[in-house]
Amino acid sequence: MKIRKLFLFIIIYFLSLNNVYSVEPDVFVQSTVNRASSILSNNLSKDEKIQKLKDIAKETVDIKGIGLYTLGPIRKSLSEDEKTKYNELFNQYFLKSFSSRLAEYSNPIINVDSKNKINENYTIVSSTLVATDKRPAVKIDWRVYTKNKDQPLIRDLIIEGLSLARTQKEEFNSIILSADGDINALILKLKEFSNS
């Protein structure tokens, strides 16, 4: 009987630990944007800011998941070598594109407004990029992948209703279609961007 009680206590203890340490999607997003804002407001060179922003993206964004989504249906017909090559290039492309664009901002303030749990795997976190005298307020929704509650990941940004992942998917699809379905046309474009 004592062993059963001890076993039950241990199970309850570990379940409670899981709840304590799981990260809520809205807290995760606010923490991520605060970290980025801190970097952008620091007196760092543009290259230093870019590197630190890349580090944040590696920790908080599901780059591989976004990359596979943006490929669309063609991903099912790729060989493992082609997928590996694409994933590597997309990773470089994403980090360079994301960090260089964001590095142009100086101390952006983003406030999380609400969250909407879509299902066990996804939560939409709504936020606002606070207006300044140079720009209006911007509505930003974050699609957060929450399958692993201890490590949520950003899967998409929807800015004023426009999905960045879907836009990227349409752009990549256009490149592939214009080359008669040849993935190498997209691979070449990604290489050119990464090396520029």
Tokens of 25: 């999607």
- Note the pLDDT tens digit of each residue in 24-82: 999 999 999 999 888 888 888 888 988 999 999 999 999 999 999 999 888 888 899 98
Q: Which residue has the higher pLDDT, 95 or 135?
A: 95
- Tens digit of each residue's pLDDT (9 = 90 or more) over 116-156: 999 989 999 999 988 888 778 889 999 999 988 888 999 99
pLDDT higher than threshold 50 for residue 161: yes
Cβ-Cβ contacts under 8 Å for 12 (sequence gap 6 or more): none
Quote the DSSP letter at residue 42: S
Q: What's the whole-model pTM score?
A: 0.82
- Residues whose CB falls within 8 Å of the CB of residue 68, separated by 6 or more in sequence, listed in order: 75, 87
Dist CA 32 CA 43 (whole Å)? 19
CA 150 from chain centre, in angstroms, equals 16
Q: What is the pLDDT of residue 2?
A: 46
